[in-house]
Amino acid sequence: MIELDHVGIAVEDAQEVQRLFKDLLSTDVYKTEDVGSQGVRTHFIHAGSAKLELLESLSPDSAVAKFIAKRKEGIHHIAFKVSNIKATWQRVKRLGYTPLNEPTPGADNKQIFFLHPKETHGMLIEFCQKQKLPLQAQKAPFREGHLAYYELGDKDAYPVVVLHGAAGCTQMETELLARRLSTQFRVIALDFAGHGQSDAFESLTFTPDLFVDNVAALFDHLGLSKAHVFGFSLGGFIALSFAQKHPEKVHHLSVHATNLIWDQKLVDLMLTRLDHKQIKERSVELVAYLSEMHGKDNWVLLFERMKDYTLALRGYLTEYSGIEKVPHQTLVSAVDKDDLFTVHSPVFLYDNLPNSSLFILPGQRHALQNVDLDQLVPMVTRHLSRK
Ligand code: ZN
């Protein structure tokens, strides 16, 4: 869960250092940003899954200027990305470390705090969390309660319905993609029943049909006669099932990291991932994050119900034969370093859908929130814009 986000490097002349990394990594600065409160100008360079942050002082009394005066140019700090910075801040304090500050806004639209290097073997360590403008959930009626959905982009643009994965929600998984697609489409991102901001619907059993009916209820509520549908993981399966049940409502389909072949091994792996006792033992940050995303008591119930859902998948989808009847143009996208599904999953879809194309992103893992959207979004946009 905690990953390297970037390495901060104090530099005297950022242009010189940019040239160095252009030589070494064949990569350019993709963003430059001043952080007035710190008196620095930051320049970001992609370096695989992490980034380099070149720090150039804007004033002689900035921390970076003092660092260079004392220790010359070089590595200034290393930064780790966390999912809930407040929880991390509290945890390291409980462990006896002294954060240099409370979480505050830093460069790159992040909340950050530092630990003092005297407690961390001379390394200045930063923790950071991406900050987002909060999306406002709207409510669509479903049975005796409500489903949450988020609407982005131009109301007059062509609609794209966006579906998240199992035990996920819009804010956890599909929000960044939805934001990117919203420059060209009217995007409507749904939280399935019991997920995210939607009601729990405790009396209902989770089944594919239930989630398909969720999508139908959203279409009805918005008066959508036809839309593109994008689905991630479980959401991709629901998108395909929705297209089978309501073919006239779907224009193009785009499914990402979706699997229909559930053998015992995969069911077991999924059950381990849904083991809330293990999560509670392992990570206070993850517990805080899941509580925030699904509600304090709801997330445990959600994980339990998704376990039952997963158990019911065993064997059921191996003989699944409906997709050859899905006539819609479908982009099947996947990642080749998926830690949940094998590359057979997208190939199976591609082989059996009558009208599909296949796109595999190299070097990426399952979680959509970590996928390089610079690669995925143009491909999805091009597909959905086809005549
Ligand atoms: Zn930093």
Average pLDDT over residues 119-125: 93
| CA distance linking residue 60 with residue 81, whole number of Å | 29
Say whether both 123 and 171 belong to one domain: no
What's the gap in Å between 54 CA and the centre of ligand 1? Answer: 9
What's the gap in Å between 32 CA and the centre of ligand 1? Answer: 13
Q: Check: CB of residue 294 under 8 Å from CB of residue 169.
A: yes
Instruction: Give the domain CATH number at 75.
Output: 3.10.180.10
pLDDT of res. 317: 59
Boundary residue ending a domain (104, 130, 156): 130
Q: Check: CB of residue 111 under 8 Å from CB of residue 85.
A: yes
Dihedral of alpha carbons 236, 242, 247, 249, sign? negative
What's the gap in Å between 267 CA and the centre of ligand 1? Answer: 40
Say whether both 147 and 103 belong to one domain: no
The DSSP symbol for 183 reads T
Question: Other CB atoms closer than 10 Å to residue 177's CB: what's the count?
Answer: 25
Predicted structure pTM score: 0.76
Count: domains in the chain:
2
Boundary residue ending a domain (72, 98, 130): 130
What's the gap in Å between 183 CA and the centre of ligand 1? Answer: 29
pLDDT of res. 321: 63
Boundary residue ending a domain (80, 105, 130): 130
- What is the domain extent for residue 148? 138-384
Helices (H), ranges, the chain: 14-25, 63-71, 85-94, 175-181, 208-222, 234-245, 264-273, 276-282, 284-294, 298-313, 344-352, 373-384
Least confident of 99-103, 106-110, 250-254, 370-374: 106-110
What's the gap in Å between 103 CA and the centre of ligand 1? Answer: 13
- Token pair for 342: 């094998």
pLDDT of res. 130: 83
What's the gap in Å between 387 CA and the centre of ligand 1? Answer: 44
- The DSSP annotation for 203-227 comes to TSPP-HHHHHHHHHHHHHHHT-S-E
What's the gap in Å between 303 CA and the centre of ligand 1? Answer: 34
Average pLDDT over residues 185-198: 97
Least confident of 36-50, 72-86, 308-322: 308-322
What's the gap in Å between 171 CA and the centre of ligand 1? Answer: 24
